[in-house]
Structure 1
Amino acid sequence: MKITLKQGIQVVVSLIVAVGIFWFLYKDISFEELSGAVAELSWYWLAASILVALFGFWLRAWRWKLLIDASTESNVRTSRAFWALMVGYLTNLIVPRAGEVARCGVLKKTDGLDMGKLVGTVIVERSIDLLMMVSCIFLAFVIERELFVSIFEELVATDDLSESLMNILPIGIGVVIFLSLVVFFIFKKFKESRIVIKVRNFGKNLYKGMLSIKDVENQLGFWMSSLGVWLSYYLTMYAVALGIPSTASLTASAILMVMVMGSIGMTAPVQGGIGTFHALVAFILMKYDLSEEQGKIFAAIIHGSQVLTIIAIGLLALGIFLRISAKKKPRTS
């Protein structure tokens, strides 16, 4: 995948922002403090968190396989989906959001599947994840209502927010209508153009991929794996919390709040949620009477262990992908 100058600038800017936020958060924490916390860390619980995370990745790959099989009428191996997924995660550490396209490109290359349908299944996947994240936020709101409301009031001025939305809404609707008319005109005027035909075919396959959820044979497995993926996120974070003395006494509901804030931080358009994840996790831990340093150190340990795992398994997956691709190339005598 070639990166244009504009994309390159966006990558550099997002990386600068991520590093800037990270530096601002950790500039007052000495290496001795961080190394001391690592020395007190239970490696048993850290290893357990990594194993749970890997199981969650495999579960996500299996869920994606169910969608792919329903969309393309194929039988993709879960291992192929897993390696593609890990290449995607590795790509996200370099170019934010590019991993979703990268993993589709890997399966297109290794299994010859249609790119449009694969992207459609990823959109379905991400939509389900959004639903799960909203469900987790709602559950956190129910369990920790007072804390949740106080945080929301602290971060958002509700009166100003509603006024801003009312001002922006008409403009937003107008822009959507205008762009829709422009696209409609282009597709009608140049319907015989090769580019328009390719875009239309891609759109059809994308739509078919998005509808794949209703064609999944194992509906129970699909929805249970969706729950399992988010349960693995929760248990991964809980295991690390148990392995650090300062967070070992956190309640189950507190870990849920930490997971919710961390998940929100990971949605920011920066490489691997660097900076934003750490800031929100440290922020919420301070609400549970941890010091700012303790919150930041916990965030650094959980995030660092996950990033190192993704790099290690992602590089392995990339090597396997290159090996498979090399075997598929026709040999010339």
Structure 2
Amino acid sequence: MVSSATPEEREKLWVNIVEADKFWIAVSLILGLLSHASRAYRWKFLLEPLGYKPKFYNSFMAVMVAYLANLGIPRSGEVLRGATISTYEKVPFEKAFGTIVSERIADLIMLLLVVATAILLQTDTLLNYFNDQDINPLMAVGIIVVLVVGVLVGVRILKSSTHKFFVKLRTFAEGLLDGMKSILHMKNKWAFIFHTVFIWLSYVLMFGVIKYCIPGTENLSIAGILAAFAVGSFAISATNGGIGVYPFAIGAILIYFNIDKQDGEAFGWILWGSQTLLNIVLGGLSFLLLPILNRKKT
């Protein structure tokens, strides 16, 4: 942590951040922006089978509003994203949210592929890192199993109950399921797959190019980038946008790749700070512009 660093270490960290190559930060921001635009465009392939064709700018701003919300309350952005597109494009919330769940399943598969690749390339390094940080990856698997079992039990209760509350909940769940099943009825499956791969390739690239910002990280290997990307993804998933954790997680894993701690933490701060600022600016603008651009609808 910054508070435990020596004055010399804090000074080096600050110099690394201030003197970072702005060109590569700009490249990273452009890649981040492209990934957000691709995510918004990909969404239409899930909504079309349900009979909805939202305007791209509404989809994009809904995505950005979601990213902004996630900085405050983890995972609240998905709910707000569904509510936003429901408000401005008249898509039933439960169906919109169902398509978002399907998206997240596709994203989870991509994340697992990246993590699996990182583990294959750097098994000992990642296992040592998890051990040193007292992180138990099996716990995450256990939580997923518990959630799946809970969902299955809940489905059985919904199907058999005649109580008014559960009947309403069943109607909502059926709409949610319709949204989730839209992934099976897409006409443009290959376009959806292309955008999914493009989004995650953009994520890895926007992460990787930051190494050129700092002299101490410019020789970081692809294996090191993937390992740090995997660790950073877990840090973001476990917190509200990685606040207070992300830079230190990146600095901690990069030590295993012979990167100085302050260089690694500067890498994390530059990436997290620039992308977070992008999300705050675009998310804030989206909040302001959505009601203005949709004035006639509202």
- When normalised by structure 2's length, the TM-score is 0.88
- Aligned AA (1:26): V
1:26 corresponds in structure 2 to: 2
Q: Is 1:90–2:90 an aligned residue pair?
A: no
- Aligned AA (1:188): S
- For 1:315 and 1:48, locate their aligned partners in 2 and report how far apart those are by CA, in whole Å: 22
**8 Å Cα contact 2:13-2:263 kept in structure 1:** no
Post-superposition offset of 1:78: 2.4
Q: Is 1:180–2:153 an aligned residue pair?
A: yes
105-114 vs 248-257, which moves further: 248-257
319-328 vs 291-300, which moves further: 319-328
1:63-102 to 2 correspondence within 5 Å?
A: 63-70=42-49, 72-102=50-80
Which structure is larger by alpha-carbon Rg, 1 or 2?
Answer: 1
1:239 corresponds in structure 2 to: 209
- For 1:39 and 1:300, locate their aligned partners in 2 and report how far apart those are by CA, in whole Å: 11
1:132 corresponds in structure 2 to: 110
- Aligned AA (2:77): G
- For 1:314 and 1:272, locate their aligned partners in 2 and report how far apart those are by CA, in whole Å: 14
1:262 corresponds in structure 2 to: 232
140-149 vs 130-139, which moves further: 140-149
Post-superposition offset of 1:297: 1.7
- Aligned AA (2:247): H
**1:114 is matched with which residue: 92, 96, 108?**
92
- For 1:182 and 1:137, locate their aligned partners in 2 and report how far apart those are by CA, in whole Å: 31
Structure 2: segments with no counterpart, 5+ residues: none
Post-superposition offset of 1:242: 1.1
- Aligned AA (1:53): G
- For 1:66 and 1:259, locate their aligned partners in 2 and report how far apart those are by CA, in whole Å: 28
Root-mean-square deviation over aligned CA pairs: 2.8
- For 1:200 and 1:57, locate their aligned partners in 2 and report how far apart those are by CA, in whole Å: 33
2:23 corresponds in structure 1 to: 44
Post-superposition offset of 1:271: 2.0
2:185 corresponds in structure 1 to: 215
- For 1:187 and 1:260, locate their aligned partners in 2 and report how far apart those are by CA, in whole Å: 42
Post-superposition offset of 1:301: 1.1
Post-superposition offset of 1:222: 0.7
- Identity level (%): 28
- For 1:256 and 1:176, locate their aligned partners in 2 and report how far apart those are by CA, in whole Å: 33
83-92 vs 135-144, which moves further: 135-144
Structure 1: segments with no counterpart, 5+ residues: 1-24
1:320 corresponds in structure 2 to: 289
